[in-house]
Amino acid sequence: MAGRLIRTIMYRAALRRWAQAARAADTEKLSLLRVQRGRARRLRYHLDQLIYKAENRLALPLIGSTTFRKPANADWSWRPEIWRGPLPVPGIASAANKSQLGDEVTLFHDCEFSELTLRQLRNQREADLAPYGLRMDVFRFDGSYLSLVVSLPPDAIDGLKRRHLIRMDTIVEMEKPLEIFARLNIKHGPNTEQIVRELPLHEEEVMVEFDLAYTKLNEKRVERAWLDLIFEGPEMNQVTVRDLTFSRRPRAEL
């Protein structure tokens, strides 16, 4: 507290001193004015650097942000940690099958020799709401499948009913076109319900919904849920998932 007070007093004193020097510049002695000009230029350099860096950082999406568009009647929403905050280990090279990035995302593939990399990156575009994104580089690919599995938190299944719609929104960038499928898995007792949707990557808003009304979900025995992002023909491609969010809402009663 005392340190902040002292810094405030020093700042105000410096501000008054420079304001007074600016007002007196028209009549000040040239020798002193020359000294003040040199000091002001050096000070301006550091101030310009501070302003430039501050504006860049403050323009970035806020770390930890959970802000995203969701249905008005959503009773649950979530952005996974990879897209929300910095990971202790931000990347994996030559990623093996079942490699984990953070606690919620796992890579699955059957390549004999992995030429896959995963890396968390800081989003810097004006349109981005998520602080971070996930980039996957795929070089030679000799496997038959490649997927990222996102484990949904317990809140996602708390009170889950067949009348619910689960929505997934994402922002995806690719070096070249490929097909991506989203498969929702819900384990209830010995059974697992699966719903598959192809991502509409040609549309401006990439969103899919999973309607649980068409499942045989046993609402009393729901144990866990996860989502597979399945990449078809990923060889020699770079895929960046700028954001990934989930929400849940009850279907409107008729």
Give the pLDDT confidence of 33-54 residue by residue, as tens digits: 888 888 888 888 888 787 767 6
Over 90: is that where the pLDDT of 100 sits?
yes
Question: How would you write the chain as a 3-class SS string?
Answer: CHHHHHHHHHHHHHHHHHHHHHHCCCCCCHHHHHHHHHHHHHHHHHHHHHHHHHHHHHHCCCCCCCCCCCCCCCCEEECCHHHCCCCCCCEECCCCCCEEECCCEEEEECCCCCCEEEEEEECCCCCCCCCEEEEEEECCCCCCCEEEEEECCHHHHCCCCCCEEEEEEEEEEECCCCEEEEEEEEEECCEEEEEEEECCCCCCCEEEEEEHHHCCCCHHHEEEEEEEEEEECCCCEEEEEEEEEEEEEECCCC
Predicted TM-score (pTM) of this structure: 0.76
Region of poorest pLDDT, from 32-36, 64-68, 239-243: 64-68
Answer yes or no: CATH 3.30.310 is held by domain 76-250.
Answer: no
Give the pLDDT confidence of 128-182 residue by residue, as tens digits: 888 999 999 999 999 899 999 999 999 999 999 999 999 999 999 999 999 999 9
Over 60: is that where the pLDDT of 59 sits?
no
Q: Where exactly are the structural domains of the chain?
A: 2-59, 76-250
